[in-house]
Amino acid sequence: MDKGKRKIIDLFNKKVRGKSSNTSKANQNHDGKDGHWLETQMNIPHNRENAPDIYGFEMKNHTSIKTTFGDWSPDYSLFKRKVNLLTRDAFLQIFGAPNINHDNRYSWSGKPCPRIKKFNEFGQKLEIDKQNNILAIYSYKNDKRPNKNKIVPLKFQKNRIIIASWSAELMKRRVEKKFNNLGWFKCIKDKKGIYTKIIFGDPINFNNWIDGVKKGLIFFDSGMYQGNKRPYSQWRANNSYWDNLITSSY
C-alpha cells in the first residue's frame, strides 16, 4: 500500500472514525462548517488551492445526495470584466430568477441553471463543442418565460448566445491538478452522522471527467446570487456516480 494512503487511513482511524463532526463553535450559517471540521481532524489547512489535499489525494466529505468536484468559474461570461457586456447584477436579473424566500434577490441557481442536452424554461442549456469546451447557451426562442421581451434586452434576443463558457484547457488543468495525482478518498458517515469508513478511488483524468459531463452524470450547479461576490460555480455529481468509482474501502 502507498505510504501516503496508509497515513491517511491512520489519521482517519485515530481522529475521525467513530466520531460525528463537532461544529458547535463554527458559524452555523456556513454551509462548509462540517467539511472544515473534517479538514481540521485530517490536518488539512482550510484553503481553496486547486491541488490535492493530502499526500497526493483529494479528500471529499460525505454528503447526503451529491459531492462536489470543485468551485470552478467560467473563464468567459457576459459579466466578466474583460468582456464587460453586462454587470453581474444585470446578468442575474436577465438570466437568473428571483428567490421569494430571500427578498426576491436574483440568483443563477436552481431552475435557471443550465444542464446538458436540452433547454430549460429559461432558454438555457450546456453544450460541449468538438474541442471539449463547455458552453452555456441562451436561446430567446426557447425561453418560455411569458414576459421575456421585458426581461431580455433586444441585443440578447437571439436564438444562440454563449453567456458563459469553460475552456477545455482550463478545466483539464483544474480536474487533473486535484484528482489525477494519486486519486481521491471520501470519509463516510452512517445514518446517525457517525464516521464509519473511508473509501478510495483511482485518479480521474480530464477525458473521463468530460465524458461524465457529456452524459449528464457530472453537472454545473451554480449558486451565484445578488449580494455575494463569490462565484459559487460548483461542478458536482450524485453520490451514485462516485460510488461507481470506488476501488477500496477501509
Pair (109, 223) in one structural domain: no
Q: What is the DSSP string of 3-16?
A: HHHHHHHHHHHHHT
pLDDT confidence of residue 35: 83
pLDDT confidence of residue 4: 94
* pLDDT exceeds cutoff 60 at 111: yes
pLDDT confidence of residue 9: 97
The gap from C-alpha 33 to its chain's centroid, in whole angstroms, comes to 17
Domain of residue 102: give its range: 76-166
Q: Which has the minimum average pLDDT: 62-66, 188-192, 200-204?
A: 62-66
pLDDT confidence of residue 45: 85
Pair (67, 142) in one structural domain: no
Pair (85, 62) in one structural domain: no
Count of structural domains within the chain: 2
Pair (153, 176) in one structural domain: no
Strand bridging mode 57-61 / 122-128: unpaired
Pair (151, 27) in one structural domain: no
Cell 424554461 identifies what position?
Answer: 121
CA nearest to 112, candidates 133, 128, 126: 126
The gap from C-alpha 15 to its chain's centroid, in whole angstroms, comes to 27
Pair (86, 161) in one structural domain: yes
Q: Please state, for a pLDDT cut of 90, what percent of the chain lies above it.
A: 83
Pair (20, 67) in one structural domain: yes
Pair (32, 85) in one structural domain: no
Pair (86, 66) in one structural domain: no
* pLDDT tens digits along 24-76: 665 555 556 788 899 999 999 876 677 899 999 999 999 889 999 999 999 99
Residue ending a domain, among 105, 131, 166, is 166
Residue ending a domain, among 143, 166, 189, is 166
Going 204 to 210 to 214 to 220, the CA torsion angle's sign is positive
Pair (210, 174) in one structural domain: yes
Say how far apart CA 73 and CA 43 lie, in whole Å: 27
pLDDT confidence of residue 191: 92
Pair (84, 161) in one structural domain: yes
Cα three-residue angle 38-4-183, rounded to 5 degrees: 75
Residue ending a domain, among 166, 188, 222, is 166
Tell me what the pLDDT averaged over the chain comes to.
93
For residue 172, give the C-alpha cell: 483539464
pLDDT confidence of residue 92: 97
CA nearest to 166, candidates 127, 112, 208, 205: 127
Greatest Cα pair distance in the chain:
62
The pLDDT confidence band at residue 126, using thresholds 50, 70 and 90, is: very high
What number is the average pLDDT over the span 163-185? Answer: 97
